[in-house]
Amino acid sequence: MLSECAQSCGLCSRFARSCADDHDSCAFWASIGECQANPNYMLNYCQLSCSVCQSGCSDSNENCGFWASIGECNANPNYMLPNCQLSCNTCDGGTGGGNNGGDNGGATILTAPAGSEVGRIQSAILEYNQRTCLRFVPRTNERDYVHIKRLTGCNSQVGVAGGMQELSLGNGCLGTGTILHELMHAVGFWHEHQRPDRDDYVTIYRENAESQHRHAFDKLSNSRTLGLSYDYGSIMHYESHAFSTNGRETIVPKRPLNGIVLGAAQDFSSLDLQKINKLYDCNK
């Protein structure tokens, strides 16, 4: 898309002015696959290294305008940004079709890990961008943003904290399910087993949990339920032996699981997506 629909994707103004890299590391980033893994940044600021330079601004496919109108500039940037530049509104005179009505401008992201790790993070981010109205984009100069770093453990603040907020993906934290889980914290959700109505669905055995992690089993009155039912299959649910200090269960379900394994989710459940889309009014 980036080369064939340059006019619809709005890249033409940059291509028309010059074809250059805006960062000294562009060639290296391109060599390790960042043009594909991080297209929203690379195809705008590393055009020479990513070989997407254009002499003009146009769409190469007659469907570019329609695709842009349904959010494909954000959901499918690898094709759209080079091939639908006009429709994605990245060049002078662009139609603005790349602005999907559900875009939430406050959610931005800066990824710090390198190489294949960035690819995993970008894949998880794409799940949010394609299946909700949230849009994670590379940070430029936004005041509020999430900074993903390799720190100790897997953790994130809950909700928008303001300014730079760190999200840690340390050793063992780069599975798709874990990344989705931590990003869901960042957009405003606590653990499922911390819901105020959790006692109707699970029994918590705090005495079996490591003392330094017992706070993770607290019941929270401010945890959002959004009028939706408890979800054993949520990406935000802990496993039954989470942080166990003695091999015994820390979370025991009170109702049939119907094949669900607590804490084993590697993808959003249907209710997870409903919660995100309801919290951010995605259906408006």
pLDDT tens profile 123-149: 899 999 999 999 888 887 888 889 888
Top mean pLDDT of 100-104, 111-115, 168-172, 270-274 is at 270-274
Q: Calculate the average pLDDT of the chain.
A: 78
- pTM of the predicted model as reported, rounded to 2 decimal places: 0.62
215 is in an annotated binding site: no
pLDDT, residue 52, reads 61
Whole-angstrom CA distances from 170 to 32, 101, 112, 155, 174 are: 21, 35, 12, 9, 8
d(CA 180, CA 256): 25
pLDDT, residue 187, reads 92
284 class by beta-carbon count within 10 Å (0-12 exposed, 13-18 middle, 19+ buried): exposed
d(CA 129, CA 131): 6
d(CA 14, CA 257): 54
**SS3 of residue 68 by DSSP:** helix
**Active-site annotation holds for 182:** yes
Q: What is the CA radius of gyration of the chain?
A: 21
181 is in an annotated binding site: yes
Whether pLDDT at 74 is above 70: no
Higher-confidence residue: 96 or 133?
133
Whether pLDDT at 263 is above 70: yes
213 is in an annotated binding site: no
Considering the candidates 4, 72, 182, 192, report the single residue annotated as catalytic.
Answer: 182
The class of domain 108-186 in CATH terms is alpha beta
Name the segment(s) of the chain with CATH classification 3.40.390.10.
108-186, 192-279
CATH number of the domain at 192-279, out of 3.40.390.10, 1.20.1640.10, 3.40.50.720, 1.25.40.10?
A: 3.40.390.10
Whether pLDDT at 108 is above 70: no
